[in-house]
Amino acid sequence: MHPLDLVVLCVYLAIMVAFGARFSSQQRNVQDYFLSRKKVPWWALLASIVATETSTVTLISVPGYAFGGDLTFLQLAFGYILGRIVVASLLIPRLFSGKLMTAYQPLATRFGSGLARLSASIFLLTRSVSDGFRLFATGLVLAAFLSTFPANGTMSPGVFLGSNGVTGLLALSIGLVGVTTLAYTLLGGMAAVIWSDVIQLVVYMAGAGIAGLILFTEIPGGWAEVLALTQSAGKLAIFNFAFDLTESYTFWSGLVGGMFLTAGTHGTDQMFVQRYLCGRSSHDARRALRWSGAVIFFQFTLFLTIGLMLWVYYTTYAHESLSVITVDGVVQTDRIFPLFMMTHLPLGIRGLVVASIVAAAMSTLSSSLNSSAASTLGDFYIPLTSATRSDQHYLSASRWVTVVWAIVQIAVALIAVAFSKRVVDEVLGIQSFTGGLLLGVFLLALSPVRRNAAPVIGMVVGAAALVALKLFTSVSWQWYVLVGAVTTFGIGWVLGHLASKTQSKTDSTTS
């Protein structure tokens, strides 16, 4: 990177840390630190939901998907919209029925603290792994931009593929993003997270838009050429109506699987539920969630379009440049957008676009750190100490726990360097495995099932079913949430019903 680009990036990182410091004086207790006094307007919640959901994975893997395939990824967006409607209608109203700090506290009231802590543990594990992969993706892009090239201008594949000494630079990049995000999250709490999300949404959308416009100018025939070439190659296909459970990104897996995936993440994941609890009312939270679906659909469309233009440019005008991101004859599609940005953006703009990529990562990572700390305090530490410690003690503990989860996610990102391929599939696959189990339990909480072992057994059977799917079938990960949720709910409901009948007979005999 040119010194000017580095200045732009460093200024952005400094602004984020200063932004977090601005909110540090407002943190008097854990309610302030984790819920931002419940005064966030609905449009800021919307921006925060979208920014949290959009990580570097979205920015680099979704264009890569269109480069290597077509537009069928967009089918997931239809399911995402339906899932939001379900969550807004069924789950959000119940979150405002009491003074909650985490998504899993209602489970403790309904089924006991054991199940609530098990659910919280699943959330913490999922967040640590999936967001660690997201941090890795950010480090990959940043390391590529920070790499030093030979004087002749040639590029080594190691710049993008993590070899030839670049691994150390990749680790440094991961650490830089992780520590900077930790700094402003630690200082400002949830208020800093949400309001920085608003800024970061603008930054990364502007960065992607600018990069897309520059890419468009590199194609002599303009939009007509893009349409003609992509259409002839069959890359404009949006719908795939094949009913094949082993195939990802079909209409059915996108619509049904995407709906269950979103219901699982946005309805049971503390990272999103915590945002709703920061809203002024249930109405504001539902409004923000519903409209966020439209914004996500627009984002997917933009990033997929960039992917199509990248395919036209590199296959028609710069095919030889793909050698630096090719392994065993296969183009590593996650690297294609960073390759273009690194080699075609002008000075200053390059720094802005890199800052936008970092912004997308920081929005997700900061949310993950704060929500993981909230769950650790709200579901474990405060109940175990019987809420007998001072507000200052719990606030201090919240900050220390935030540091611990930052270290964990940085470690996961460093481990991911060794074996990650297409990050978007890996991240969504991880969330699909656990999201169904949690969704099944939350649905049981809406049923007549009472406090007993039924939900736990349902989760165990659901997990076993998912492991069997993974090991012994080729069923797409996009069906995992549906299978996990239906199995967990079905087994839990049947056992709960049987337990209720047995208890009724016992009560009748006793009387």
Q: Calculate ∠ Cα 331-472-333, nearest 5°.
A: 10
What is the rounded average pLDDT of the residues 182-189? 88
pLDDT at 374: 92
pLDDT at 420 over 80: no
Tokens of 101: 């700090």
Residue 190 · residue 274 · CB < 8 Å? yes
> Which backbone phi and psi does 218 adopt, to 5 degrees?
-80, -10
pLDDT at 112: 86
Among the residue ranges 22-31, 239-248, 379-388, the one predicted with the least confidence is 22-31
pLDDT at 151: 41
**How many helices (H) does the chain have, and how many strands (E)?**
22, 2
What is the rounded average pLDDT of the residues 361-389? 90
Indicate the Cα dihedral angle 412, 414, 415, 421, nearest 10°.
Answer: 100
What is the rounded average pLDDT of the residues 251-273? 91
pTM score: 0.86
Alpha-carbon gap, residue 62 to 310, rounded angstroms: 12
Dump pLDDT digits (tens) for 282-314.
999 999 999 999 999 999 999 999 999 999 999
pLDDT at 511 over 60: no
pLDDT at 106: 86
What is the rounded average pLDDT of the residues 372-379? 92
Helix or strand (DSSP H, E) at 110: helix 105-111
pLDDT at 333 over 80: yes
SS3 301: helix
| Residue pointed to by tokens 């195939």 | 247
Among the residue ranges 131-135, 401-405, 408-412, the one predicted with the least confidence is 131-135
* Beta strand pairing call for 330-331 and 326-327: antiparallel
Dump pLDDT digits (tens) for 69-118.
999 999 999 999 999 999 999 888 888 876 778 889 888 888 888 899 99
> Which backbone phi and psi does 236 adopt, to 5 degrees?
-95, 5
Dump pLDDT digits (tens) for 241-254.
998 899 888 999 99
Alpha-carbon gap, residue 72 to 89, rounded angstroms: 28
Dump pLDDT digits (tens) for 192-210.
889 888 988 888 898 889 9
Q: Domains in the chain and their CATH numbers? A: 3-510 (1.20.1730.10)
pLDDT at 59: 84
Residue 213 · residue 349 · CB < 8 Å? no
How many C-beta neighbours within 10 Å does residue 125 have? 13
Average of per-residue pLDDT values in the chain: 85
pLDDT at 353: 82
pLDDT at 161: 45
How many C-beta neighbours within 10 Å does residue 480 have? 28
Helix or strand (DSSP H, E) at 305: helix 282-316
